[in-house]
Amino acid sequence: MPTRINQRPTQRQIAAQVGVSVTTVSRILNPDESHPERWASPETVAAIQQAAAQLGYRHNALAVSLRTSRSQTVGVLLPVVGDFVTASIYSGIDDVAREHGMTALTASTLDEPVLRAERTFSLLDHLVDGIIFADAHLDEDFLDSVATQAVPFTLVHRRHPDHVCVTADDVAAGRLAAQHFIDLGRRRMAVISGPRFMSTGVDRAQGFVDAIVEAGLPAPTVFDSALNVKSGGDATRAMLASSHFPDAIFAVHDGAALGVLSVLRHEGLSVPDDVAVIGFYDTPMSSAMELTSINVDLNNMGRRALELLLARLSDQQIESEVCPVTLTVRRSTDPSLPPGGHGPTAEPLTSTVQRAPHPAESSPQHVNPAP
Amino acid sequence: MPTRINQRPTQRQIAAQVGVSVTTVSRILNPDESHPERWASPETVAAIQQAAAQLGYRHNALAVSLRTSRSQTVGVLLPVVGDFVTASIYSGIDDVAREHGMTALTASTLDEPVLRAERTFSLLDHLVDGIIFADAHLDEDFLDSVATQAVPFTLVHRRHPDHVCVTADDVAAGRLAAQHFIDLGRRRMAVISGPRFMSTGVDRAQGFVDAIVEAGLPAPTVFDSALNVKSGGDATRAMLASSHFPDAIFAVHDGAALGVLSVLRHEGLSVPDDVAVIGFYDTPMSSAMELTSINVDLNNMGRRALELLLARLSDQQIESEVCPVTLTVRRSTDPSLPPGGHGPTAEPLTSTVQRAPHPAESSPQHVNPAP
DNA sequence: ACGATTGACTCAATCGATTGTGTCTGATAG
DNA sequence: CTATCAGACACAATCGATTGAGTCAATCGT
């Protein structure tokens, strides 16, 4: 038993053992040539393959990358790591990367321009073949400067006007939320958006406002927030302090929606009787809190972002993609649904533009009859 | 303006521009020598630094790694990516990596041995300086074979008897949960653990059982589960079907706890009147669901895991570490707490062994008086 | 029987940086 | 006046693999 410790076998070792040159070893171990067996006799091929297996040979990815200037690596820039949304997106990216024998390098930028630049350069130092940005800012031209570096990239989740991106259909999502509220007979709407530089919040709020105005209803107030529990709560308190309190709140992020629910409950207001609430992303918390939420396949968005990037790397023309959104109706907008949702195993109800009819439930506890 | 497109500047280019050899350029650009200015005259140093800045020179991480066989890179193997627990751990690792100018490479293994081996080798192909495993299995000796590769590693979150790891104090956590139930006067306990190969669930269940038996109470039933919402619900249904239904359930994962709550509510049982429930990890969902949960600083666990690994890389002796846990009491065990928790901005109550007294709240709506 | 083709390889440069060992010049010591 | 030394560099091998351009012998066609 060859107890190799501390030393990875190299092609040189295989060559020495078999009695050929490293050239031949390299050619045999890279079957990507058009003529697979053109470079050696069957016996030599077998001998090399056997030696490689016996020594436990593996390519040195660094050496290969250095020589070929193709690293089989993509960089992924996330605003934060450890959050449901970005983690789901990354998961999809990672899947595709693995399917293509590539490695995904991640870095978090905290939405800070300096950190983003630093970490982008750090990825480039590793000669990534391409980059996926999940943290685009609408108003920055950092991406243009990256384009100068001749490293292809795509955006995911947040869009930028000048670059290819894979986003949720955020405008449609906003319209979906608005239409749901309108169908419920709500009239005084509000929307909790995110920072202005995030296309997600901006587009969702835009769709929401547009649909409501088109329906002839008063334009909803737009609150900017940091899209977390605390800022959602703060926005809600701001609403409570204002003269006309809404009867329907659309938060473009479940975290913010949770803050909304928490403050409403704390203030003794009933959901959805007094205020209906819609969140976004349909996180596990949504079902736990019986929060109506908009769903988009984040995993698939990640997949598509990398697939587009790979297409681009194959010199194909690529175009931005918009992923469909659905609305999962729960008790935060529809009290006629049974408490406890549909049990822990049930799939959420989904709809594309209108609320889908939901199947009769075993114990429909009508807390309040629908208006 | 030098519109370099497509080409990163190299030391060779700097050397040519300044009129020195790449040797000198390399020495100047690596100030880690004992004699910083020993290799060139001040004028040359300035010229090289200026040329480097002007060209926008950056080290080629691959070339450096290849030559020095130190990649300044660590691999992180996670069971899944996109989950609160692993994402939080990774976040801590990533922070430390950045602080040390290193890069963290991640890979998810889905707890499948084949995938774990494959992805581990993939990391080794990139010449990672070390590896952090967050997906250790108690019963596997895969790690021993990795040890043969002479790549240092540490474990995090899940332990293995033979290797250095950073874990939560899982046994203490189990005891903490048990003591809380005992203090509440509960007598029929159950614990929902995870698969047998995860030390987390095993240790937590062990501590829980030990403390209860030591208190002279009947030993709780241990249910194995997959630690997700569905399996938590399944376990609860199994309990409901059995002869002696518990009045206290400790789930070693908030996801499973959510399944418990969901099924209990669906069956018309009251929490905590009929059944008290404790979860684990104190996820955002815990506070949303008013779930009493055990908290451990996952981010810090990640930090420590990498810090230990780096110490090990500096040839220091390292030892396993156990991180303290705390219990955050909410309404799933204590109905005397006000609904809505402490508002979205409040810090959770924490305690180390006993439940801490909680501050008086503005509107303490006593839904049910404490027993 | 002889040039041409094919099969089976090898040579050597190269990717970008690091590093042990020179080399050369001018200043200093003796 | 020369041996010595330090300062300021350069040479060239090396890390592990890839790749265009050979080399050499056997085989083939005519």
- Residue B198 CB coordination number (10 Å): 25
- Residue B279's H or E segment, with its range, is strand B276-280
pLDDT tens digits for range B210-227: 999 999 999 999 999 999
What are the C-alpha distances in Å from A162 to residues A137, A147, A311? 11, 11, 19
Provide, in whole angstroms, the distance separating residue B44's CA from nucleotide C27's C1'.
Answer: 21
A360 interface with B at CB cutoff 8 Å = no
**What pLDDT is stored for residue A177 in this prediction?**
98
In window 11-70 of A, residues with CB < 7 A from nucleic chain D are 11-12, 22-23, 26-27, 29-30, 57-60, 63-64, 66-68
**Residue B39, CA: closest nucleotide via C1'?**
D8
Compute the average pLDDT of residues A330-339.
86
Q: Are A278 and A294 in contact (CB under 8 A)?
A: yes
Distance CA A200, CA A197 (A): 9
Q: Are B73 and B129 in contact (CB under 8 A)?
A: yes
C-beta atoms of B125 and A345 within 8 A: no
Extended beta strands in chain A, E state: 73-78, 103-108, 130-133, 153-156, 165-168, 189-193, 221-224, 248-251, 276-280, 292-296, 321-323, 325-328
What are the C-alpha distances in Å from A50 to residues A97, A180, B169? 29, 65, 47
Residue A93's SS3 state is: helix
By Cβ distance, the residue of A83, A263, A289 closest to B344 is A263
**What pLDDT is stored for residue A340 in this prediction?**
55
B340 interface with A at CB cutoff 8 Å = yes
Q: Which residue places its CA closest to the C1' of nucleotide D13?
A: B67
Residue B166 is given by DSSP the state: E
Provide, in whole angstroms, the distance separating residue A332's CA from nucleotide C17's C1'.
Answer: 61
C-beta atoms of A343 and B266 within 8 A: yes
pLDDT tens digits for range A93-144: 999 999 999 999 999 999 999 999 999 999 999 999 999 999 999 998 899 9
Alpha helices by DSSP H, A194-267: 199-214, 229-241, 254-266
Nucleotides of D under 7 A from a protein CB: 7-12, 14-21
Which residue would you say has higher pLDDT here, A2 or A79? A79
pLDDT tens digits for range A189-238: 999 999 999 999 999 999 999 999 999 999 999 999 999 888 999 999 99
pLDDT tens digits for range B55-82: 999 999 999 999 999 999 999 999 998 7
What's phi and psi for A360, nearest 5 deg?
-60, 140
Compute the average pLDDT of residues A230-252.
93
**What pLDDT is stored for residue A33 in this prediction?**
58
| DSSP state string for A105-116 | EEEE-TT-HHHH
Distance CA A100, CA A8 (A): 24
Q: Tell me the pLDDT band of B347, cut-offs 50, 70 and 90.
A: very low
Residue B225 is given by DSSP the state: -
Residue B218 is given by DSSP the state: P
Provide, in whole angstroms, the distance separating residue B12's CA from nucleotide D10's C1'.
Answer: 14
Choose among B284, B301, B254, B255: nearest CA to B76.
B301
Provide, in whole angstroms, the distance separating residue A38's CA from nucleotide C9's C1'.
Answer: 10
Residue B73's SS3 state is: strand
Maximum separation of any 2 CA atoms in chain A, in Å = 87
Residue B48's SS3 state is: helix
Q: Tell me the pLDDT band of B265, cut-offs 50, 70 and 90.
A: confident
The residue type of B181 is F
Distance CA A256, CA A235 (A): 9
Compute the average pLDDT of residues B330-341.
80
Q: Which residue places its CA closest to the C1' of nucleotide C14?
A: A67
Residue A3's SS3 state is: coil
Assess whether B67 (CB) lies less than 7 A from strand C: yes
Percent above pLDDT 70 for chain B: 87
Which residue would you say has higher pLDDT here, B336 or A188? A188
The residue type of A33 is E
Show residues of chain B in contact with A149, CB under 8 Å.
Answer: 5
B300 has pLDDT over 60: yes
Q: Are A220 and A191 in contact (CB under 8 A)?
A: yes
pTM recorded for the entire structure: 0.88
Which residue would you say has higher pLDDT here, A322 or B43? A322
Choose among A166, A161, A170, A84: nearest CA to A132.
A166
Nucleotides of C under 7 A from a protein CB: 7-12, 14-20
Phi-psi domain of A327 (left: phi exceeds 0; alpha: psi -120 through 50; beta: other):
beta
CB contact residues (below 8 A), chain A span 53-92, against chain B: 58-63, 65-66, 71, 80-84, 87-88, 90-91
What's phi and psi for B127, nearest 5 deg?
55, 40
Close Cβ partners of B121 (under 8 Å, ≥ 6 residues apart)? A58
Assess whether A142 (CB) lies less than 7 A from strand C: no
**What pLDDT is stored for residue A4 in this prediction?**
40
Q: Is the four-CA dihedral B227, B232, B235, B239 of positive or negative sign? A: positive
A346 interface with B at CB cutoff 8 Å = no
* Token output for B256: 């499973």
C-beta atoms of B105 and A103 within 8 A: yes
Distance CA A160, CA A187 (A): 33
Instruction: Give the distance, in angstroms, between the CA of residue A303 and the centroid of all CA atoms in the same chain.
Output: 9
Cβ-based contacts under 8 A for chains A and B: 158
C-beta atoms of B83 and A81 within 8 A: no
* Token output for A10: 């190299």
Show residues of chain B in contact with A232, CB under 8 Å.
Answer: 344
Asked if residue B218 has a cis previous peptide bond (ω within 30° of 0), the answer is no
In window 61-120 of A, residues with CB < 7 A from nucleic chain D are 63-64, 66-68
* A325-328 and A292-296 beta bridge pairing: antiparallel
A135-144, A341-350, B239-248: least confidently modelled range: A341-350
Choose among A205, A209, A263: nearest CA to A239.
A263
Distance CA B170, CA B324 (A): 9
Distance CA A218, CA B273 (A): 46
Assess whether A19 (CB) lies less than 7 A from strand C: yes
| DSSP state string for B79-112 | S-SSSHHHHHHHHHHHHHHHHTT-EEEEEE-TT-
Residue B32 is given by DSSP the state: T
C-beta atoms of B5 and A148 within 8 A: yes
Rounded mean pLDDT of chain A? Answer: 87
Q: Tell me the pLDDT band of A2, cut-offs 50, 70 and 90.
A: very low
Percent above pLDDT 90 for chain B: 74
Assess whether B70 (CB) lies less than 7 A from strand C: no
Compute the average pLDDT of residues B260-281.
94
Instruction: Give the distance, in angstroms, between the CA of residue A345 and the centroid of all CA atoms in the same chain.
Output: 24
Q: CA nearest B115 in A: which residue?
A: A98
| Residues forming beta bridges with residue A130, ordered by sequence position | A74
Provide, in whole angstroms, the distance separating residue B53's CA from nucleotide C18's C1'.
Answer: 21
pLDDT tens digits for range B114-158: 999 999 999 999 999 999 999 999 998 899 988 887 799 999 999
A89-103, A222-236, B293-307, B339-353: least confidently modelled range: B339-353
Assess whether B44 (CB) lies less than 7 A from strand C: no
* Token output for B201: 């669930």
Q: How close, in Å, is residue B170 to chain A by CA atoms?
A: 22
Choose among A216, A168, A155, A88: nearest CA to A352.
A168
| DSSP state string for A313-344 | HTT-----EEE-EEEE--TTT-TTSPTTTTTT
pLDDT tens digits for range A290-325: 899 999 999 999 999 999 999 999 999 999 999 999
Choose among A54, A257, A103, A83: nearest CA to B71.
A103
pLDDT tens digits for range B75-95: 999 999 878 899 999 999 999
**What pLDDT is stored for residue A232 in this prediction?**
94
**What pLDDT is stored for residue B171 in this prediction?**
97
In window 17-36 of B, residues with CB < 7 A from nucleic chain D are 19-24
- Residue A34 CB coordination number (10 Å): 5
What's phi and psi for B295, nearest 5 deg?
-115, 140
Q: How close, in Å, is residue B210 to chain A by CA atoms?
A: 31
Q: Are B150 and B127 in contact (CB under 8 A)?
A: no
In window 65-104 of A, residues with CB < 7 A from nucleic chain C are 66-67, 69
Q: Are B186 and B341 in contact (CB under 8 A)?
A: no
Maximum separation of any 2 CA atoms in chain B, in Å = 88
Task: Catalogue all structural domains in chain A, each as residue range(s) with its CATH number.
Answer: 11-59 (1.10.260), 69-168+300-323 (3.40.50.2300), 172-295 (3.40.50.2300)
* Token output for A80: 């934060």
C-beta atoms of A60 and B81 within 8 A: no
Nearest-Å Rg of the Cα atoms of chain A is 27
B195 has pLDDT over 60: yes
By Cβ distance, the residue of A65, A88, A265 closest to B339 is A265
As a dihedral over the C-alpha atoms of residue A162, residue A166, residue A168, residue A174, rounded to 10 degrees, the angle is 10
Q: How close, in Å, is residue A99 to chain B by CA atoms?
A: 12
As a dihedral over the C-alpha atoms of residue B97, residue B98, residue B101, residue B103, rounded to 10 degrees, the angle is 60
**What pLDDT is stored for residue B32 in this prediction?**
64
Distance CA B60, CA B25 (A): 14
pLDDT tens digits for range B45-58: 999 999 999 999 99
**What pLDDT is stored for residue B82 in this prediction?**
76
Burial of B7 (0-12, 13-18, 19+ CB in 10 A): exposed
C-beta atoms of A58 and B87 within 8 A: no
